[in-house]
Structure 1
Amino acid sequence: MPQTPRRQALTPEALQMMDTIARSGSFAAAARELGRVPSALTYSVRQLEDALDVLLFDRRSGQAKLTAAGEELLNEGRRLLAEMDAVANRVRRVATGWESELTLALDTALSRVTTFELIEAFYAQRGPDGEPPGTRLRVRGEVMTGLWETLLDGRADLAIGVSMQHAGSHPDIQVRPIGDIEFIFACAPHHPLAQAELPLADQDIQRHRAVAVADSAQRLTPSTVNLLSGQDVLTVPSMAAKIEALLRCLGCGFVPEPMAREHVAAGRLLALPVQRARVPASFGYAWRQIGGDKQAARQGLALQWWLGQLEREATRHALIERHGAQWLTME
C-alpha cells in the first residue's frame, strides 16, 4: 500500500524539526541549531502544514508560536520520537540475546510477593551499556491444567507451579520440582462445620457448600480436586479469592497451609482435621526445551535468568512459603 502524503510528511526529521523550533522559540534560532538557513526551515514547515492541511505556527507575532494543532503535533511527535528510540534500544538488546517478550504463567497458589520481587530483580539488571533488559514481561495467573495448557500451546514460555502429579510426558518440555505444599481443610469460625464432630467425614463435608478454584484450561480437560458428588460449589478464579470466600463464610474447602497460616493464627479461619487420607501436593516449573546439546546457548537470556533464579533453593522455598499480607493481584 503506497504511503499517503501525510504519512510521508510525518518523518522523524520533521518531528525533530518541530521540537527544535518549539524549544528555541524562533525559526532563526532553530535554523542555527539544525545547521540550516531560516528560509529552508520555513519552507519545510510550510510543506508539513500543506501535507497535514493545518496551520502549525502563528506567525503574526513574529515568533514561532504554536497553534493548538501545532501543540498536539509537538506532544505526539515527542512521544513518537521517544518510542522510536525505545524500539531501537530494544532491537539492539534483542540482538545481544534478550528475547523481545517473555511470558510467565504462574499458579495462583504461589507467593505473589516473591513473584514481584523476582520481577523487580529482573528489571534491575543492567547490561554493559547501563541499560535494563530489552525483554517485555507478561505475567499470567493460571490454575492446574491451565498452567500446562499455556506452555503446550505456546502462550507461555515458562510455567511456574505446575502439578508434578499430573505432569505429562512431553519430550520437548523440561520439568523441575519446586517443592511440596500441604493443604488444610478450612472454614470460618462461625461456619456450621466448626461445631461438628472431628475429624470430619466426607458425608459431613458434602452437606455444605464448597469453594473451588476454577481450572483455567480452555482446551485440555480441566481438573477437579477435593469436590464431593452432589456438593454445592462456589467457583472462584484464584486461590486468594477462595480464601476471601472462606473468610466471609461463603463455604469451606482445602487451601494451601502457607497461604492460610496467617488467618489460622489470627483465628479468622479454622483448620479442621478430616478423615480422608491426604498427601502434600507437589509443584514444579516447566519450560519448552529447544533441543540439542546447545540448548542453553539457544535459550534467550531472559529465560536463562528466570531458570537460574528457580534453581536457587531459597527462591523455590519463598515461592511456597512467603505469603502473609498480600495486596497485589494477578489477573
Structure 2
Amino acid sequence: MQTPRDWLTPEALTMLQTIAQKGSFAAAARALNLVPSALTYRVRQLEDALDVLLFDRSSRQAKPTAAGQELLREATRLLDDMDAVANRVRRVATGWEAVLTVAVDSVVSRSVVMDLCASFLALGAPTRLRLRYETLSGTLAALTSGQADLALGVVTAQGLPADVHHAELGLIPFVFAVASHHPLATAAEPLSHEVLLQHRAVAVADSVSRGSGITVGLLGGQDVFTVPDMPSKLEAQLRGLGGGFLPESLARPYIDSGMLVTKAVQKPRISTCQYVWRDSKQVPAGQALRWWLSQLERSTTRDALLQPVHRV
C-alpha cells in the first residue's frame, strides 16, 4: 500500500514549485515538457494521496491553497536539504564540492565578493559557485541550516555546533546619520531617546526564515520603516525617510558631500563581524571552501570586504 511518502518525491515537489512559479498549469506543462492533461492528472494523484487540495482551480491561475503554500515552503527546504546531502557526499568522495554556497550579509561589500568570485571561477575548479544575500541572523542561519557553506558578515556567532568554526572579519564602526534636510540634522546633541522616539527609524529586516530574528538600534514604540538590506537603508536615509545607524565606511562619501549629517547619540554602536564555516573530521572542508578561507586569512581581503566604496 502506497503512503504519502511514496508520492512526495523530488520530481513531485519540483513539479509543484514549477506550477506555483509559472502561475498556471498550462505554462508549467510547457516548462516541464508535458501535455496539460498529464500534469493535471499527476497533481490530482498527489492530492488524492495527501487527501488535500493543493491548488485553487476556480480561475485560470493556479493559486496554491493554504495547504499548498505550506507544502511549497517545505518543498523548498526538502529539496535544498537533498542538494546539501549530495554536496557533502561529493565532497567526501572527491575533495571538491559539487556546489559551494556563500551567504553574504548586507554589511559586506558585494563588489569585493564578486572580485573573489571572479578569482575563484578563474581556477577552473569543478565546483559551481552560488551566492545568497542575507541580513543579520539570517546570515548565520543560512550556514547552520545547511543552506550555505560559508557565511560572511555574521553579527553574532555564539552557541555554535562543534563542527562550525568562526573567525573575526573585522570591526564595523557605525554612525547615526540623517539627511541634511531631516529635522534631526539641526537638533541639539547628543540626541536623547525621547527626541529619537519622535522620528521614524529606518531598519534592515532580518532575513532569517524561522524565529523572530534580531533587531539592532531600535527603540521601543518608535515608528519604523523596514527595508531589505543596507544599500536600501542608505537610500531611504538619503531621502530623509528616517534616521538610523549606518556603517561609517558606507556613509562616509555622503557625509563628506554634505548629503548626510552625523549626530551624536546616547548609545554609540560598533559591531564585530565574523566569517563562519563548517568543518569536521567526519566531513572535512572541501577544496573550494579551503580556497575561500585562504583568501580570508589575508588582512587586506578582510579589510576590503568591510570597506565598500560608493560613489556620490
Tell me the TM-score normalized by structure 2. Answer: 0.68
Unaligned runs of 5+ in 2: 1-89
Say whether the 8 Å CA contact 1:102–1:157 is kept in structure 2.
yes
Q: Secondary structure at the match of 1:307?
A: helix
2:195 matched residue in structure 1 = 204
Alignment counterpart, residue 279 of structure 2, candidates 285, 289, 305? 289
One-letter identity of the residue aligned with 2:285 = Q
* Distance in 2 between residues matched to 1:176 and 1:268, nearest whole Å: 35
RMSD, aligned CA: 1.8
Say whether the 8 Å CA contact 1:105–1:160 is kept in structure 2.
yes
* Distance in 2 between residues matched to 1:251 and 1:214, nearest whole Å: 15
1:195 matched residue in structure 2 = 186
Please tell me whether residue 158 in structure 1 is matched to residue 150 in structure 2. yes
Please tell me whether residue 261 in structure 1 is matched to residue 223 in structure 2. no
Q: How does 1:232-251 map to 2 (within 5 A)?
A: 232-251=223-242
* Distance in 2 between residues matched to 1:169 and 1:218, nearest whole Å: 18
Alignment counterpart, residue 304 of structure 2, candidates 318, 321, 328? 318
Q: Tell me by how many angstroms 1:195 deviates.
A: 1.6
Q: Secondary structure at the match of 1:258?
A: helix
Please tell me whether residue 280 in structure 1 is matched to residue 270 in structure 2. yes
* Number of residues of Structure 1 aligned to a counterpart in Structure 2: 222
1:113 matched residue in structure 2 = 111
Q: Tell me by how many angstroms 1:322 deviates.
A: 3.2
Q: Tell me by how many angstroms 1:96 deviates.
A: 5.1
One-letter identity of the residue aligned with 1:155 = Q
Say whether the 8 Å CA contact 1:201–1:275 is kept in structure 2.
yes
Change (3 A) 1:149 1:160: same
Say whether the 8 Å CA contact 1:144–1:163 is kept in structure 2.
yes
Q: Deviations over 1:179-218 (max 9, x none)?
A: 1101110110000001211111111111101100000111
Q: Deviations over 1:138-187 (max 9, x none)?
A: 111111111111111101010111114x5323212001001110111011
Q: Secondary structure at the match of 2:222?
A: coil
Q: Tell me by how many angstroms 1:325 deviates.
A: 3.1
Q: How does 1:138-153 map to 2 (within 5 A)?
A: 138-153=130-145
Provide runs of 4+ in structure 1 moved above 6 Å.
none
One-letter identity of the residue aligned with 1:179 = G
Say whether the 8 Å CA contact 1:112–1:323 is kept in structure 2.
no
* Distance in 1 between residues matched to 2:305 and 2:130, nearest whole Å: 18
* Distance in 2 between residues matched to 1:266 and 1:291, nearest whole Å: 52
Alignment counterpart, residue 305 of structure 1, candidates 269, 291, 305? 291
Q: Tell me by how many angstroms 1:220 deviates.
A: 3.4
Q: How does 1:1-331 map to 2 (within 5 A)?
A: 97-125=95-123, 132-164=124-156, 166-276=157-267, 278-291=268-281, 298-325=284-311
1:43 matched residue in structure 2 = none
Say whether the 8 Å CA contact 1:145–1:220 is kept in structure 2.
no
* Distance in 2 between residues matched to 1:100 and 1:265, nearest whole Å: 45
One-letter identity of the residue aligned with 1:236 = V
* Distance in 2 between residues matched to 1:168 and 1:261, nearest whole Å: 34
Change (3 A) 1:105 1:187: same
Q: Deviations over 1:209-252 (max 9, x none)?
A: 11000001111331011111111111000000000000111111
Q: Percent identity?
A: 46
Say whether the 8 Å CA contact 1:150–1:156 is kept in structure 2.
yes
Tell me the TM-score normalized by structure 1. Answer: 0.64
* Distance in 2 between residues matched to 1:271 and 1:195, nearest whole Å: 10
* Distance in 2 between residues matched to 1:191 and 1:148, nearest whole Å: 34
Q: Secondary structure at the match of 2:206?
A: coil
